[in-house]
Amino acid sequence: MTIKEFAHAIGVSPATVSRALHGRGRISETTREMVLRRMEELAYTPNHNAQRLVGARTSIVALEFRGTPPLLTDFYFTQLTQGVQEALQARDCGLLLAAPGGAVWRWVSSRAVDGVVLVGGEGADYDAARRIAGRAPCVIIGHHPVNAAPNLGSVFVDLRGGARQVARVLTDRGHRRIAFLGGQSADAVLTEFRSALRQAGASLSPELAVRAGRTIEDGFQAMDVLLAGPVPPTAVFARRDALALGALAAARRRGLRVPEDLSIVGHDDVPQVRLTEPPLSSVRVDCSAVGAAAVEILFQLLPGPERPPCPAALHTELVDRGSISIPPPPRHPV
């Protein structure tokens, strides 16, 4: 049923129906109610495409994940998506899940969506974001605030807090030989962890900062090598929980007790870390909140490109579940 047919059926003009529908324009409360009521009865729904064609308000937002495809990080994907989903739903907006690899551009340029949330992987994604922002409001989620640009907002997870906390807890309990697993050398977690250790009078030995991959197997390998070294670490901080799980397995394989012989801390706090024995301590990132924040910013951007976007920061914190202990007495004189 079209608006014309419907309007005719209830004895008003299309314009009146439209006005009743949006509350805009002058219309009497009586007519408005009548139209709305009969809309229910006749099950009339306005055509979404026609509405968008004439430039109606924003109704669909696209979400795209850049960067490496999810791994154990499925949790990340689920949580973030759910956060975005719920926030959009509260605003009566739909979520278009764009395929990885730049599909979002198609939806933006064809005006199928009127906003974009981009989950950034690496640096190059910022260029993509700026390009998109030229066409529609865009919010990029990353680990760093983005230079303000018209139509471009950003939400970033400030990874430093959690890293600092881990450094503090480990050093406080007396650890001095501490390892770090995973992450690029420019990674914020590593950087912050290293400097926090230094501040605490400890330090991160170069041979204990391992650039591992992202799987459990990677974590196992890396930890196994470390434990085979002359002076193995008494604690390890893994940039991803998967690596931490691998480290746990490696320790077990060598007959080490966790946390008595080796303290382990992960990062991201995926559900899996609660299943091990002992449950692993991990740095929590509230992905759902990140998604919600992104939508929040996006809607601040909507009024127009004039408004200067303000990057929103979310912080991380250590959740200690008991895989951290004091270091064991040295087996070799150091």
- Least Cβ distance, residue 58 to DNA (angstroms): 12
Q: Does 98 engage in binding with its own copies (CB under 8 A)?
A: yes
**For 134-169, b where at least 16 C-beta lie within 10 A, e where not — what string?**
ebbbbbbbbebebeebebbbbbbbbbbbbbbbbbeb
Tokens 């604690």, residue? Answer: 235
Nearer to its own copies, 95 or 146 (CB): 95
Nearer to its own copies, 74 or 260 (CB): 74
Interface pick for its own copies out of 15, 36, 42, 99 (rule CB under 8 A):
99
Beta-carbon contacts of 333 under 8 Å, excluding residues fewer than 6 positions away, are none
Beta-carbon contacts of 209 under 8 Å, excluding residues fewer than 6 positions away, are 179, 180, 190, 194
Question: Which of its own copies, DNA, none does 106 bind, CB closer than 5 to 8 A by kind?
Answer: its own copies
Question: Which of DNA, its own copies, none does 30 bind, CB closer than 5 to 8 A by kind?
Answer: DNA
Nearer to its own copies, 30 or 110 (CB): 110
Question: Which of its own copies, DNA, none does 186 bind, CB closer than 5 to 8 A by kind?
Answer: none
- Least Cβ distance, residue 10 to DNA (angstroms): 10
217 torsion bin: left (phi>0), alpha (psi -120 to 50), beta (else): alpha
Q: Does 30 engage in binding with its own copies (CB under 8 A)?
A: no
- Least Cβ distance, residue 176 to its own copies (angstroms): 30
Q: Does 121 engage in binding with its own copies (CB under 8 A)?
A: no
Chain-centre distance for alpha carbon 308: 23
The Cα–Cα gap between 223 and 129 comes to 37
- Least Cβ distance, residue 118 to DNA (angstroms): 24
Nearer to DNA, 19 or 176 (CB): 19
> Of 44-83, which residues contact its own copies (CB under 8 A)?
45-53, 60, 70, 72, 74-75, 77-78, 81
> Of 144-163, which residues contact its own copies (CB under 8 A)?
none
Nearer to DNA, 10 or 244 (CB): 10
Q: Does 112 engage in binding with its own copies (CB under 8 A)?
A: yes
Q: What is the CA radius of gyration of the chain?
A: 26
Helix (H, G, I), strand (E, B) or coil at 267: strand
The Cα–Cα gap between 179 and 188 comes to 16
The Cα–Cα gap between 12 and 245 comes to 67
Nearer to DNA, 13 or 147 (CB): 13
- Least Cβ distance, residue 58 to its own copies (angstroms): 13
The Cα–Cα gap between 113 and 52 comes to 9
Q: Which stretch binds its own copies (CB under 8 A): 25-33, 87-95, 182-190, 284-292?
A: 87-95
Interface pick for its own copies out of 12, 196, 245, 319 (rule CB under 8 A):
245
Of 273, 275, 247, nearest in space to 262 by CA? 247
- Least Cβ distance, residue 178 to its own copies (angstroms): 25
Of 117, 93, 119, nearest in space to 107 by CA? 117
One-letter amino acid at 173 equals: R
Question: Which of DNA, its own copies, none does 6 bind, CB closer than 5 to 8 A by kind?
Answer: DNA
Of 196, 194, 198, 169, nearest in space to 183 by CA? 194
Binding site for its own copies (CB under 8 A): 43, 45-53, 60, 70, 72, 74-75, 77-78, 81, 85-86, 88-89, 94-99, 103, 106-107, 109-112, 216, 245, 252, 271-272, 275-277
